[in-house]
Amino acid sequence: MPSSHLVDAIDQLAPVAYKGRLFRHIAAGRHPLSGAGARSVGGRWNPPQSFSTLYLAEGRDTVEAEFRRMAGRQGLDPAQFLPRRIYRLEAELQAVVDLTQPASLMPALAELDLSSEDLAATQAVGEAAQYLGREAIRAPSATGTGFVVAVFVDRLLPESRVETVDFEEWSEVP
């Protein structure tokens, strides 16, 4: 059960609609719309062993920065993760928690460091949003480059969608 303090804070934020082109990097051979890896090991917005989450970036520069950050967090050279695929997706979501605008940072959230290497705060926010039935969180990338959208696969509403458009193979580090 997520913190009632954070559930109340997220519940006070009106969910917004989101429509746009997004990017995702994954290992070759993985399904681009599966959030199973994040469900198992966790990520910035979901705790380990919790719920499937698709981690997407709004721009190519953001997905490239996120790729390099992922490798760095593991203490590895990005080349060790190649080949890799970058997918281009289209998303249309109805109930997104938007943390990109200063007005959305209510006092209960403003005190949290959402770009920290310690993922406890962001995972707690994601857990509260998912608990409330929100489909995703849109936030600044922890890399400082652009914005990311973390989609909670099990919360997608019937009129929402995330679809692959195409992909390209990375055989060298972008």
Contact indicator for 139, 92 with CB cutoff of 8 Å: no
Domains delineated in the chain: 4-165 (3.90.175)
Task: Report pTM.
Answer: 0.93
Blockwise average pLDDT, block size 10, the chain, 174 residues: 87 94 94 92 94 97 95 94 96 95 65 81 95 96 95 97 96 90
Interval 125-143: pLDDT, tens: 999 999 999 999 999 999 9
Name the residue among 173, 174, 169 with its Cα closest to residue 84: 169
Specify the pLDDT at position 117.
83
Give the burial class of 40: count Cβ atoms within 10 A of its Cβ; 0-12 exposed, 13-18 middle, 19 or more buried: exposed
pLDDT at position 104: 53
Distances (CA, A) of 67 to 39, 56, 94, 142, 152: 18, 11, 27, 12, 20
> What distance in Å separates the CA atoms of residue 94 and residue 157, rounded to the nearest whole number?
7
